[in-house]
């Protein structure tokens, strides 16, 4: 597809539908993963996977940084007609997978027992969490690659292949969950093994395309030479995406600590279920952002500023609008959403229903923040994207510190939505200023001086 001449809506859906479908599939298999854990392991299993998740979040954050950073820079280079430079960035991104993945695997493996103790984990929940990390932490390079490579494939002209790879990985994960968790009853060890095997399939499929001649930026011998400056550019571009996932990991850690302080393990399990619902929507928003990103980068590189604005408008209509519909459904029937993840457990059902009502009423704002950060990132304005994502981490801290003192357990649940409201006002102001700068005519000049 010629992005310069193709109708905008056609180009938008050409990239967004595969990206959205891919990450919706990813979100679905995470939800199914939670359903298997809740039904066949129980509340302790849900609590255990939630206690382990922050370390997994660090792996995902690193993969997002490499994937988004490499994809954005490669797409900008392609938009400017610099095919060789795009190939160079892709090769540097591939180098970063082992250069960051191997040291991180060592750190996470050695620190996981202490990390669980620090959160206050004990008993069956702690044992389940350690079993999960015993497999996931050493496999960090594989996890990172499974996140990063689909972004490269999408930006190199094969969004459908990226979707297919993630779809096959998701189906494989669900089938392996049925075998390892339901049939063999291997607990969270089985859940981790199912995840890693499905991610290995994604890596093989995506890496095969990136290294092939079918890519828009085929790799030659010169591109493979390691260039620290280019690697630094990639990490800087993708840094805000890494911060977003690190923020999620930090949020999970702090919530685990406070929920165990003001409540019990059942509240951690309820938070885990709410987390699955959050992850489903968050990944959907990332899917819309992933479809928007190559278009915005290309149009910016080609000087088509009107299309840069129109692409954001479409992305917000889909991403934020879908979030509003999901929130309305959850507020109307929270018990139904909660019951999907458990058997007969009245205490967990009551705790989860309350958690959904208090914790997820502003969930759609997460989608807005993801899209705003991605838009700035796609324009090459990494500092503004980082400001939004860093703010997402920092603004939650005072809410988590103060609200539980006044409201107890309810304050823990309310901290996230209230902090998102405040940050969204700031992100909206940044977005409005940049929007004016891209407008034609006098508004652009006014925006530049503001």
**Joined tokens for residue 25:** 């599939």
What's the 3-state SS for the chain?
Answer: CCCCCCCHHHHHHHHHHHHHHHHHHHHHHHHHHHHHHHHHCCHHHHHHHHHHHHHHHHHHHHHHHHHHHHHHHHHHHHHCCCHHHHHHHHHHHHHHHHHHHHHHHHHHHHHHHHHHHHHCCCHHHHHHHHHHHHHHCCCHHHHHHHHHHHHHHHHCCCHHHHHHHHHHHHHHHHHHHHHHHHHCCCHHHHHHHHHHHHHHHHHHHHHHHHCCCCCCCCCCCCCCCCCHHHHHHHHHHHHHHHHHHHHHHHHHHHHHHHHHHHCCHHHHHHHHHHHHHHHHHHHHHHHHHHHHHHHHHHHHHCCCHHHHHHHHHHHHHHHHHHHHHHHHHHHHCHHHHHHCCCCCCHHHHHHHHHHHHHHCCCCHHHHHHHHHHHHHHHCCCHHHHHHHHHHHHHCHHHHHHHHHHHHCHHHHHHHHHHHHHHHHHHHHHHHHHHHHHCCCCHHHHHHHHC
Distance CA 36, CA 438 (A): 48
pTM of the model: 0.79
Distance CA 137, CA 152 (A): 24
Spell 353-387 as b/e; 16+ CB within 10 A means b.
bbbbebbbbbbbbbbbbbbbbbbbbbbbbbebbbb
What pLDDT shows up at residue 385? 86
Distance CA 36, CA 32 (A): 6
Taking residue 221's Cβ as centre, other Cβ atoms within 10 Å add up to: 7
Distance CA 273, CA 15 (A): 31
Distance CA 388, CA 399 (A): 17
Taking residue 190's Cβ as centre, other Cβ atoms within 10 Å add up to: 26
Name which of 202, 92, 102 is nearest 153 in CA terms: 202
- pLDDT tens column, 125-161: 999 999 999 999 999 999 999 999 999 998 888 888 9
What pLDDT shows up at residue 411? 97
Which residues of the chain are modeled with pLDDT < 50? Answer: 442-450
What pLDDT shows up at residue 448? 36
Domain ranges in the chain are 8-449
What pLDDT shows up at residue 144? 97
């Amino acid at each position: 597809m010629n992005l310069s001449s193709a109708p905008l809506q056609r180009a938008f859906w050409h990239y967004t539908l595969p990206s959205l479908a891919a990450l919706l599939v990813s979100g679905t298999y995470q939800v199914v993963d939670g359903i298997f854990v809740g039904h066949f392991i129980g509340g302790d299993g849900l609590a255990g996977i939630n206690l382990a998740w922050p370390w997994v979040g660090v792996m995902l954050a690193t993969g997002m940084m490499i994937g988004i950073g490499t994809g954005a820079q490669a797409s900008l280079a392609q938009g400017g007609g610099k095919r060789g430079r795009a190939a160079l960035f892709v090769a540097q991104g591939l180098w970063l997978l082992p250069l960051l993945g191997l040291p991180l695997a060592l750190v996470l493996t050695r620190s996981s027992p202490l990390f669980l103790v620090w959160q206050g984990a004990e008993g069956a929940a702690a044992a389940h969490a350690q079993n999960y990390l015993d497999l996931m932490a050493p496999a960090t390079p594989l996890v990172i690659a499974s996140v990063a490579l689909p972004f490269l494939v999408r930006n190199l002209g094969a969004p459908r292949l990226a979707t297919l790879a993630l779809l096959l990985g998701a189906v494989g994960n669900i089938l392996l969950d049925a075998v390892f968790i339901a049939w063999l009853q291997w607990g969270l060890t089985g859940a981790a093994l199912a995840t890693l095997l499905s991610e290995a399939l994604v890596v093989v499929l995506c890496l095969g395309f990136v290294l092939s001649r079918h890519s828009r930026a085929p790799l030659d011998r010169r591109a493979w030479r390691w260039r620290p400056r280019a690697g630094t550019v990639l990490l800087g571009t993708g840094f805000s995406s890494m911060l977003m996932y690190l923020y999620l990991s930090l949020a999970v850690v702090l919530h685990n600590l406070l929920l165990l302080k003001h409540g019990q393990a059942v509240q951690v399990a309820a938070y885990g279920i709410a987390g699955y619902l959050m992850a489903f929507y968050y990944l959907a928003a990332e899917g819309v952002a992933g479809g928007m990103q190559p278009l915005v980068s290309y149009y910016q590189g080609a000087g088509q500023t009107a299309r840069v604005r129109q692409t954001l408008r479409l992305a917000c209509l889909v991403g934020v609008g879908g979030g509003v519909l999901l929130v309305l459904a959850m507020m109307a029937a929270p018990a139904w959403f909660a019951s999907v993840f458990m058997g007969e457990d009245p205490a967990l059902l009551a705790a989860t229903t309350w958690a959904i009502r208090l914790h997820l009423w502003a969930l759609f704002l997460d989608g807005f923040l993801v899209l705003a950060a991605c838009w700035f990132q796609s324009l090459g304005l990494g500092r503004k994207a980082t400001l939004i994502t860093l703010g997402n981490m920092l603004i939650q801290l005072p809410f988590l510190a103060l609200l539980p003192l006044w409201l107890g357990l309810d304050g823990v649940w309310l901290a996230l939505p209230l902090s998102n409201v405040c940050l969204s006002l700031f992100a909206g102001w940044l977005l409005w200023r940049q929007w004016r700068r891209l407008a034609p005519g006098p508004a652009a000049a006014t925006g530049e001086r503001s």
